[in-house]
Amino acid sequence: MLTIIDKRFCTGCGACINACPKKIISLQEDEEGFLYPKVEESKCIDCHLCEKVCPYKKERRTNYNADYPQFYAGQLKSKQDLTLVSSGGAFWAFAQYIISSGGVVYGAVQENVDNIYHKRATDFAGIQDLRRSKYFQSNTKYTFCQAKEDLKNGKIVLFSGTGCQIAGLQSYLNKDYNNLYTCEVVCHGVPSNNVWKKYREEKERLENKKIVDLVFRDKSKGWSNNQYKITYEDGSVEYEKSTQQLFHAGYLQGLFYRPSCGICRYASLPRVADITLADYWQYKGRFRTQDNDFGVSLISINTSKGAKLLNDIPDYLDYEVTEKKLALSSCRHLDNHPTENPKRPSFFEDFFKYGYFKSAKKHLSKEHNKLFLFAKRVVKKVKNIIVNE
């Protein structure tokens, strides 16, 4: 029976719950707030399929053609659609193409302010809420089983998720399907659900109203100035720069990443999916001008299937070749796993005693502090003046 000895080697991808013939495994949160498989022991038939399917028990797939990866910068043609995606919208272009070809798309949706899960979509209405990055771990539920059925029935399938989820799907399928396209988002780690819930409760108490919606990266002030947007039950809205938002800053600083993220073996080249998507922050070409701060996708094409899919979507996406060196320097986590903050254990110790606000203020580095950032900008300006004189 499945036993997790070292939590660093479980990504919560969901391969085991899909492989179980009795369907007696579910993903449940541990005390830190991360999803792990839990088996209904009395019903277990000791078939060991849950253990065998675990991607960590297998070699990581590396069978790629020397022609790849190829890197591209891309942006949706529709400016209106660009406001509804996190970066340049490459995923939305692929998803629309697959649906218009009669295929099926799988991806992450936000059920409410606390829950993200994977779902199957077969039409344009169904793919709308797959858009946008949701910075929590998505529960893949039984989507690997559903995707297998679709593949066996000859449907074209686009499955999107983080690298560990794609590795879980591949391990579960255990063979290549010509009709399967995989698309992963570059990931710098997922935060603890418990920490989020505690933050939300404390924030709601402070404001004396409930949070009813959350947009992790609102673009109303532009892609470069993306903001964390919280909507309350009375309709009021709060915007904060993502790096300064008290919860998001703790996440970005790695105070409460999932243990497996700090040793992630999928955040490296060659990537596991046919296509890898990221934000192209260092891009300075025609998709990013004074009048165009809508977002640019960095697209890593990792296989010939990925190349075929990119070739098929010019109606939806403008794209151009970009240099590997610039791509890798722009997106550290394309070829480096995130690093766990050494303060993580003491953060959790305080978190269990005092809750979020108090522990975050103690453990967060000054980088999220507005005054500190303002002082840093002033020092930089003064230095520039001295150098230029």
Ligand X SMILES: Cc1cc2nc3c(=O)[nH]c(=O)nc-3n(C[C@H](O)[C@H](O)[C@H](O)COP(=O)(O)OP(=O)(O)OC[C@H]3O[C@@H](n4cnc5c(N)ncnc54)[C@H](O)[C@@H]3O)c2cc1C
Which spans of this chain sit near ligand X (rule: CB under 6 A)?
A: 85-92, 107-108, 116, 130-136, 138, 160-162, 185-188, 190, 277-279, 297, 331, 333
* Shortest Cβ 149–ligand X spacing (Å): 19
Residue in the structure block whose two tokens are 């919560």? 12
Q: Which is nearer to ligand X, 140 or 359 (CB)?
A: 140
Q: Which is nearer to ligand X, 39 or 159 (CB)?
A: 159
Q: How far is the CB of 46 from ligand X (least distance, A)?
A: 32
Distance, CA of 95 to CA of 83 (rounded, Å): 16
Nearer to ligand X, 55 or 161 (CB): 161
For the bound state, the minimum distance from the C-beta of residue 74 to ligand X, rounded and expressed in Å, comes to 8
Question: Could you tell me the smallest distance in angstroms from the CB atom of residue 158 to ligand X?
Answer: 9
Of 116 and 246, the one with the shorter C-beta distance to ligand X is 116
In the complex, least distance from residue 188 CB atom to ligand X, rounded to whole angstroms? 3
Residue nearest to ligand X (CB): 107
- N residues, the chain: 389
Nearest distance from C-beta of residue 261 to ligand X, angstroms: 9
Which residue from 136, 193, 165, 182 is spatially nearest to 10, judged by alpha carbons? 165
Query: In whole angstroms, how close is the CB of 179 to ligand X at the nearest point?
Result: 18
Q: Which is nearer to ligand X, 134 or 305 (CB)?
A: 134
CA 29, 256, 277, 293 dihedral sign is: positive
- C-alpha dihedral sign at 32, 35, 36, 38: positive
String of b and e for 79-104 (b: at least 16 CB within 10 Å)?
A: eebbeebbbbbbbbbbbbbbbeeebb
Helix axes 356-363, 193-207, angle to 10 degrees: 110
How far is it, in rounded angstroms, from Cα 284 to Cα 287?
Answer: 8
Nearer to ligand X, 87 or 260 (CB): 87
Nearer to ligand X, 39 or 87 (CB): 87
Classify burial at 67, counting beta carbons within 10 Å of its beta carbon; exposed 0-12, middle 13-18, buried 19 or more. exposed
Contact 277, 299 (CB under 8 A): yes
Q: Determine how many CB atoms are found less than 10 A away from the CB of residue 7.
A: 15
